Structure 1
Amino acid sequence: MKQLIKTFTCFLGIIVVFLFSSCKKDILTSKDDSEMAAVSSHVQIPGAEVPDSYNTFYGPVVQMGNGHARTWINVSQDNRALAFGVELTDGALEDLPDIPEEERDFISGPADFLLVLHPKARELTPYDHICINWNEHGHEPAGIYNLPHFD
């Protein structure tokens, strides 16, 4: 039961992050991480007032599949967190590890990607990381989560 609650909580967290990170995709054509830093995220949250001027802070880049992942946070000029999310480069969802459930070590295994938030995000939010878990073979309960998915 604890595993189910942990899985549901992580899954819910990922869904929330993706909902708040809906943005126009900037396509990166280079694998060079320095170019990743030059990409700015513009987030439109329905009903939210987004100032014209804000800063975007990025967490460290993590290798994921054939690409990279990292966190970001948009902060207003008066030091308010406006939005935060996860940025994936092309290839991040390709060639992910194939680890059977019985061999999984959640949070620290090769199919678990721990994305640390920028210090500014840790200062302004109650979060310090986002974890993406890839489940190639799914997990219990059967009929719900037994297909390939992310937690």
Structure 2
Amino acid sequence: MSGRTFTRRLLVPIAGAVVLAGVITVPNAFSDDGAAGPPQVVCEVAASAADNTGTTRSLPPDEAAALVENTRSYRGACVEYGPPVALGDGELRVLGGVTRGRPTVIGLSLTSATLRNLPGTMSDGQRCFDVNGDGTIGDMECAGGHQRDLQLPRNLTGLSTSAFRYVMVNWNVMGHGPPAVYTEPHFDIHFYLRSPAEVDAIRLGPCGNVVHCDDFATGRVPVPAEYNPADYGDYGFVQGKMGNHLVDKTSDEWNGGVFDRTFVYGSYNGEITYMEPMVSKAWIEGLATGATEPGCHPIKQPQQWQVAGWYPTEYCGFYRPNRDEYVISLAEFREATA
């Protein structure tokens, strides 16, 4: 990860966050320097709690550290979790944080069990089409990946200031194209700005990555320059029941580096439709072992957003050992006007 920048930030904002110049700003609370220092905010979750519910508390640093060490509590204000969906030996959930009616974090939560016994086949068969018309469907006639659709937690559902509608996760044990770029086993984490019905309406067919030829053309309608994120381009990576993939070819994996994490934007019919951290399984596991530096990475932004609202400017990766919880999240939301 040499040559990459990251910032150590809280996964979730603490209580008392303020809004300055259209940014939800939160103090740093990583310090565990004994009893000295200002109070720290912790989401207190009892050791015996069977679920993720907790209570936000402000405590002296030593008490905050002890609470995190001895219970399932975590630093920052409490977030809400969406319903679980099974994968591997564990499950996936979406978590969301809201401060003063504004989104502050949206992320994917998983445990070590989720990373065990993951599907080992190229595809789950959800995106297949008889491309050659021979009456059978072979492996090469299926888009790769094992898909899980996840609902948002209640605090984000219907929140007018949030653009996100649901999260689609794809596990790719064999990676995917382009060749020699994204071939590591990895997760595609799509934070969709469109409803499941709109995404599912992108038909399967023989063009692009198993997509209907008319929808392939619609997928490649250019995003107007002012709405297109800096350095991102359309290279024809349109997929049925998903959309187009806009990639940043200044990223390490396109310039001699090895893929472990990157950020993709999705589009369809000239509009940005999703934001996608793409992270390798090894990168996630490294958050627990120390091989991966935890923290946040900048998301390149468009000059302007097509729809007004609050949008993330960073994506983050953390591991909470007391909860055996990995989180890949979007954070540092800024307000945008259309």
TM category, shorter: 0.5 to 0.7
With over 3 angstroms needed to count, the CA separation of the structure-2 counterparts of 1:73 and 1:21, relative to structure 1, is farther
Give 2:94's aligned residue.
Answer: 71
Give 2:121's aligned residue.
Answer: 99
Distance 2:114 2:85 in 1: 10
The 8 Å contact of residues 152 and 166 in structure 2, kept in 1 or not, is answered as: yes
Instruction: Tell me: higher relative CO, structure 1 or 2? Use CA pairs within 8 A at least 6 residues apart.
Output: 1
Give 2:163's aligned residue.
Answer: 126
Cα offset for 1:138?
Answer: 1.5
Counterpart check, 1:62 vs 2:108:
no
Distance 1:35 1:132 in 2: 22
In structure 1, the residue corresponding to 2:51 is in which secondary structure? helix
Task: Please show how residues 1-151 of structure 1 align to structure 2 within 5 Å.
Answer: 22=11, 34-38=50-54, 42=75, 54-76=77-99, 78-101=100-123, 104-106=125-127, 111-124=146-159, 125-151=162-188
In structure 1, the residue corresponding to 2:176 is in which secondary structure? coil
Give 2:264's aligned residue.
Answer: none
Distance 2:187 2:10 in 1: 16
| Alignment size in residue pairs | 114
2:50 is matched by which residue type in structure 1?
A: S
Distance 2:120 2:97 in 1: 34
With over 3 angstroms needed to count, the CA separation of the structure-2 counterparts of 1:68 and 1:126, relative to structure 1, is same
Q: Which has the larger radius of gyration?
A: 2
2:101 is matched by which residue type in structure 1?
A: N
Give 1:12's aligned residue.
Answer: none
Cα offset for 1:110?
Answer: 8.1
Distance 2:88 2:114 in 1: 5
The 8 Å contact of residues 20 and 84 in structure 1, kept in 2 or not, is answered as: no
Q: Tell me the TM-score normalized by structure 2.
A: 0.29
The 8 Å contact of residues 74 and 82 in structure 1, kept in 2 or not, is answered as: yes
The 8 Å contact of residues 145 and 171 in structure 2, kept in 1 or not, is answered as: no
Q: Tell me the TM-score normalized by structure 1.
A: 0.59
The 8 Å contact of residues 98 and 136 in structure 1, kept in 2 or not, is answered as: yes
The 8 Å contact of residues 58 and 71 in structure 1, kept in 2 or not, is answered as: yes
5+ long unaligned stretches in structure 2: 1-7, 13-29, 31-46, 55-71, 128-143, 189-338
Identity between Structure 1 and Structure 2 (%) = 27
**Residue deviations 1:8-36 (CA, integer Å, cap 9, x gap):** xxxxxxxxxxx998468xxxxx9x99334
Distance 2:158 2:78 in 1: 15
Give the structure with the higher percent strand. Answer: 2
